[in-house]
Amino acid sequence: MKKNPNSKKLWRYFITSVIVGFGVTIPLELSLAYIAKYYFDVQISIPNLIWIVFVSIIVGGIVMSFISKRLITPLTNLSSAMNKVAEGDFKTQIETESKLEAIQDIYTNFNLMVKELGATETLQTDFVSNVSHEIKTPITAIDGYATLLQNTENIDEVENEYIEKILFNTKRLSELVSNILLLSKVDNKAIQAKKTTYRLDEQIRQSIVLLEPKWSAKEIDFDVDLDEIEYTGDESLMFHVWNNLIDNAIKFSPENGLIRIKLENADDKITFTIEDEGCGISDEEKKHIFNKFYQSDSSHKSEGNGLGLALVKNILTLCSGEISVTDAKNGGARFEVRLI
């Protein structure tokens, strides 16, 4: 049985009022009792003590009401607004009826800070979006011309090697730009989840097949156990989640390694787990693994850009999902995705 939070607050308020009341009135009452006894020979009886308690509670309530209205309530409202800003809401503005100049200055500075943060966020979003679109055009041109050169005659082995490197790096750059653009849209909620009902297990199989050239090159085997699950969510965004997680497992798996993938539905919660047999992730690296541009293994920097897991995390947050990373039994990494 859950306790009513309002009744809990009222109880705390009552206790605090009593404590404040006693703190204010007891010294006064003791002083009066001392004067009455030694100067007027008047004894303090039990009914008088009851009146002392009663007056203490009343005075405490009045003092606490004054403090709450002038100081505690404005600070509580400020704390709530700060939490909204921390979650990325830069449209938050607060007002106060407090007459205290310090409180008014805090509120004014807070509103000004949020406006500046909002303007900076808008500028950053527009810059990322515009630059990403502009970069895509020359990348496509470079890729196209390099492909044409590759198919021409009289190209020796050295020149062909250079062309392959150009194509490889233009592909990496194109993926980086696409990830930055998508991550920016997800971060700023500029992209809305379009929910459709589809087979989640089939989507994961499609992702495995799509990445076949990568895991075939390393001769990696898969242990796949997928329940037949119909899921309602954004199909295109979730496809990015599976692609990044499976690609990540392939990247860190050794030659002839094994990747275990499991999808199950229990208690109306869908759980996806993927384990690899790589070098694993240290406890310190686990704290930063979902940060943008963070790569735990520097030996694989040429194979990625450090945005994949950050993108996975943000997409799942948008789609009301969660992700966590732990150590696998075989020493590798184990990622778990939970969907509602």
Q: At what angle do helices 101-150 and 157-187 cross, to 10 degrees?
A: 150
Burial track 272-281 (b if 16+ CB lie within 10 A, e otherwise): bbbbbbbbbb
Higher pLDDT, 38 or 205: 205
Which pLDDT belongs to residue 226? 93
Beta bridge partners of 275: 260, 334
Count of C-beta atoms within a 10 Å radius of residue 202: 13
Same-domain status, 17 and 149: no
Higher pLDDT, 294 or 247: 247
pLDDT at 55 over 90: no
Beta bridge partners of 273: 262, 336
115-150 pLDDT, tens per residue? 887 777 666 666 666 666 677 778 888 888 888 888
- CB-neighbour burial class of residue 169 (10 A; exposed 0-12, middle 13-18, buried 19+): middle
Of 264, 283, 270, 282, the closest CA to residue 323 belongs to: 270
Q: How many CA atoms lie within 13 A of 314 on its CB side?
A: 23
Which pLDDT belongs to residue 35? 61
Which pLDDT belongs to residue 4? 45
Least-confidence region, from 57-61, 169-173, 251-255:
57-61
pLDDT at 162 over 60: yes
Number of domains in the chain: 3
Same-domain status, 106 and 183: yes
Most confidently predicted of 79-88, 102-111, 289-298: 102-111
Same-domain status, 304 and 292: yes
Q: What average pLDDT does this structure show over 236-256?
A: 90
Q: At what angle do helices 308-318 and 157-187 cross, to 10 degrees?
A: 30
Same-domain status, 201 and 335: yes
Q: Which of 172, 191, 210 is the last residue of a domain?
A: 191
Least-confidence region, from 44-53, 124-133, 231-240, 312-321:
44-53
Q: Which of 191, 222, 255 is the last residue of a domain?
A: 191
Same-domain status, 313 and 288: yes
pLDDT band, residue 264 (cuts 50/70/90): very high
Tell me how far CA of residue 102 lies from CA of 107, 109, 180, in angstroms.
9, 11, 42
Cα 308 to Cα 323: distance, rounded to the nearest angstrom: 13
Cα 115 to Cα 121: distance, rounded to the nearest angstrom: 10
Same-domain status, 110 and 46: no
Most confidently predicted of 240-254, 277-291, 295-309: 240-254
Q: Which CATH number is 182's domain given? A: 1.10.287.130
Residue reference for tokens 């009455």 = 36
pLDDT band, residue 261 (cuts 50/70/90): very high
Which pLDDT belongs to residue 6? 45
Tokens of 214: 């990568």
Q: Which of 191, 215, 248 is the last residue of a domain?
A: 191
Helices (H), 188-307: 200-210, 212-217, 235-252, 283-286
Same-domain status, 96 and 17: no
Which pLDDT belongs to residue 10? 45
Tell me how far CA of residue 70 lies from CA of 74, 96, 213, 270, in angstroms.
7, 10, 67, 48
Higher pLDDT, 178 or 303: 178
pLDDT at 222 over 90: yes
pLDDT at 96 over 90: no
Same-domain status, 156 and 203: no
Beta bridge partners of 195: 234
For the chain, what is the mean pLDDT? 76
Same-domain status, 152 and 246: no
pLDDT band, residue 217 (cuts 50/70/90): very high
Q: Which CATH number is 254's domain given? A: 3.30.565.10
pLDDT at 2 over 80: no
Higher pLDDT, 86 or 68: 86
Cα 256 to Cα 219: distance, rounded to the nearest angstrom: 5
pLDDT at 283 over 60: yes
Which pLDDT belongs to residue 259? 93
pLDDT at 310 over 60: yes
288 CB-near residues (< 8 Å, 6+ apart): 294, 296
Beta bridge partners of 266: 269
- The residue segments making up the domain with residue 109 are 91-191
Q: What average pLDDT does this structure show over 141-163?
A: 83
Same-domain status, 99 and 160: yes
Which pLDDT belongs to residue 148? 83
Cα 197 to Cα 30: distance, rounded to the nearest angstrom: 75
Same-domain status, 20 and 102: no
Q: What average pLDDT does this structure show over 92-98?
A: 79
Same-domain status, 151 and 209: no
Which pLDDT belongs to residue 246? 94
DSSP, collapsed to helix, strand or coil, labels residue 225 as strand
- CB-neighbour burial class of residue 83 (10 A; exposed 0-12, middle 13-18, buried 19+): exposed
Residue reference for tokens 């500075």 = 109
Which pLDDT belongs to residue 155? 80
